[in-house]
A = this chain, B = another copy of it.
């Protein structure tokens, strides 16, 4: 088991922060603290025993924390770090959990202190519902973790974060640069969320549920979305997202053309190609 002889603070006790708290608590860190503006969330987390202590004022825990894991919206992440720049312990590692990285890291780097290390992180885990009430360490099991270090980060700090997320259940940890991250995520995450929403919005029936099977349910699952968060994520990754929507539009146009031309062989080929690619994904 990983030796966690340092103090960790989680910022934001929502779905992700709460899940981090649950998972980290089992690793017995020296201290596991949390910061949240919501006193109720702190009280609940303390009662559940998933944190040692919670704070609404960041100063006290930050001054003593070796690792700070920020689990709030991307723009708030930037604001939190800037507002608390004087509070971080010298040598602290700060990481985040936002689904976009390039713009966020650039903004943080405009004002980061030399003696603290910000390393971008993206746990590819979530749920359709938000809040501590839905938190569970199970969402990390076998999930992917993306880490986006820059040449400002110290090797040993990167390694520490990698060990930490491995210890709480993530299966694969891939390191890539922030702009590459945002490009890929536009395809694997932002596009599927938009597709799910666009599909269900295009439904003008009231009795659809009697005519669906797994395909429609799965295709629309993530349409149940945190609209504020996803608007922020996508607007901070506009160019990549627009590009990926267009790539997808061209792909569906190929299917449309095959159907329009009654070109069975081509439609079959497209389905076969997709089927093979889906098998490779597993």
Contact = CB atoms under 8 A, between A and B. Distances in A.
A202 interface: yes
A260 interface: yes
Given A144-B212, A212-B281, A197 B124 contact: no
B249 A249 contact: yes
A164 interface: no
B193 A215 contact: yes
Contact of A188 (B196, B198, B211, B247): B211
Contacts of A220: 274, 278, 281
15 contacts: A124-B213, A191-B199, A197-B270, A201-B254, A202-B248, A209-B281, A215-B222, A218-B218, A218-B219, A218-B222, A220-B278, A223-B278, A228-B268, A234-B259, A242-B260
Interface in A188-243: 188-189, 191-203, 205, 207-225, 227-228, 230-231, 234-235, 238, 241-242
B205 A251 contact: no
A6 B264 CA distance: 41
**How extensive is the interface on chain A, given as a class?**
35 or more
Contact of A281 (B125, B187, B208, B245): B208
A185 interface: yes
Nearest to A273: B201
A198 B252 contact: yes
Nearest to A216: B188
A278 B214 contact: no
Contacts of A279: 224
B260 A197 contact: no
A270 B230 CA distance: 11
A250 interface: yes
Given A198-B248, A274-B225, A281-B217, A241 B212 contact: no
Nearest to A146: B211
Nearest to A277: B200
A174 to B, nearest CB: 5
